[in-house]
């Protein structure tokens, strides 16, 4: 598996992947208004990494570099559970310059377990248009430990 920066050639496929992944994972929300172009709006102004294997894009992660804020981590539903998310997460964590942050929807129990398994800590709860969320932090000291291994 190769983790690399996003290129414009990725956009059509990642639009499809983003839509399919949300439909497969966010079953508590109504997907009727979701569109392929949602990807463009969600990653606007963010750095994006793409996981691929043998030319096939498996997933992506997008973050706000100046804020060390992981905004999106989506894996093709056919490749979930195969280490793609972990590889992308580790690549993002290695780029944090201070404590990392993310918001994980409270209804997304599998994502919560994923982040907790990778050393993220629950800091607080909040409310968004997609529902209640957990604010999670990833301490820089943990990031350094992963980078040095």
What's the pLDDT at 72?
A: 95
For 135, the token pair is 């604010």
pLDDT in tens, 94-117: 999 999 999 999 999 999 999 999
pLDDT for the residue numbered 141: 65
| Domains of the chain listed by start with CATH number | 2-138 (3.40.630.30)
- In Å, how far from its chain's centre is CA 112? 12
Residues lower than pLDDT 50 in the chain: 142-149
User: Measuring CA to CA, how many Å separate 97 from each of 20, 64, 116, 131?
Assistant: 32, 12, 20, 29
């Amino acid at each position: 598996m190769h983790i690399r920066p996003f290129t414009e050639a990725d956009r059509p496929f990642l639009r499809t992947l983003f839509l399919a992944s949300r439909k497969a994972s966010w079953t508590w929300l109504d997907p009727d208004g979701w569109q392929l172009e949602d990807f463009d709006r969600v990653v606007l102004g963010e750095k994006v990494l793409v996981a691929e294997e043998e030319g096939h894009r498996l997933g992506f992660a997008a973050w706000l570099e100046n804020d060390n804020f992981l905004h999106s981590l989506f894996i093709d539903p056919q490749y979930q559970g195969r280490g793609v998310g972990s590889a992308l997460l580790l690549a993002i964590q290695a780029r944090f310059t201070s404590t990392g942050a993310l918001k994980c929807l409270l209804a997304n129990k599998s994502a919560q377990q994923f982040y907790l398994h990778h050393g993220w800590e629950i800091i607080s709860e909040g409310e968004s248009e997609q529902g209640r969320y957990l604010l999670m932090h990833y301490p820089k000291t943990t990031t350094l430990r992963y980078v040095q291994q």
